[in-house]
């Protein structure tokens, strides 16, 4: 069984944002699936998706600090500068983290580790809404 739909996330500030609950709420079909996979593609080039710690806001704050430090704005080697100081670093951060996740579904649930959550990583100061294409293919038969 295939299911494919877009999920729109409203604008968020630059940083790392936990969206596991939003993803699950947007995909109630998962509850009926015995075994399968969920592919998420963030359809942008200055924001990304990753899995990481789902409990401490300080982890997400430190993610921003490290990435801002490792991929600096106004570095002498940037030549693509017309779209703002945060644009080219946002492209690099996007590819370091990746725009896509493929996650297992097991017995009606996303089979993540206890401490794993899905992060929407917004690398621009005014990134606007972000669109995710969610593609689910699975064997139905669990639950009701």
Q: Which is nearer to a second copy, 28 or 76 (CB)?
A: 76
Please check whether residue 27 is in contact with residue 103, taking contact to mean a CB–CB distance below 8 angstroms: no
Q: Residue 96 has what DSSP assignment?
A: H
Give least dist CB 22 to a second copy, A: 19
Q: Which is nearer to a second copy, 2 or 28 (CB)?
A: 2
User: What value does the CA radius of gyration of the chain take, rounded to a whole number of Å?
Assistant: 17
Read off the tokens for 130. 């972000």
Give least dist CB 125 to a second copy, A: 18
Q: How far is CA 84 from CA 33, 46, 124, 127, in A?
A: 44, 12, 9, 12
Give least dist CB 30 to a second copy, A: 14
Give least dist CB 64 to a second copy, A: 9
Contacts with a second copy, residue ranges (CB under 8 A)? 2, 4, 34-37, 39, 41-45, 50-53, 56, 58-59, 61-63, 65-66, 69-71, 75, 77-80, 88, 91-92, 94-104, 106, 111-116, 119, 131, 133, 135, 137, 139
Q: How far is CA 51 from CA 75, 107, 121, in A?
A: 28, 21, 10
């Amino acid at each position: 069984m295939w299911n494919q739909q877009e999920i729109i996330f409203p604008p968020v500030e630059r940083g790392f944002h936990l969206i596991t609950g939003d993803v699950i709420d947007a995909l109630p079909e998962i509850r009926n699936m015995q075994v399968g996979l969920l592919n998420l593609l963030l359809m942008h080039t200055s924001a990304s998706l990753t899995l990481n710690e789902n409990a401490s806001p300080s982890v997400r704050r430190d993610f921003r600090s490290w990435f801002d430090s490792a991929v600096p704005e106004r570095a002498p080697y940037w030549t693509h500068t017309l779209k703002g100081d945060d644009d080219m670093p946002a492209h690099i951060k996007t590819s370091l983290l990746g725009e896509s996740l493929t996650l297992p579904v097991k017995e009606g649930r996303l089979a993540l580790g206890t401490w794993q959550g899905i992060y929407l990583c917004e690398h621009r100061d005014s990134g606007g809404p972000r669109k995710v294409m969610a593609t689910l293919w699975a064997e139905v038969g669990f639950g009701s």
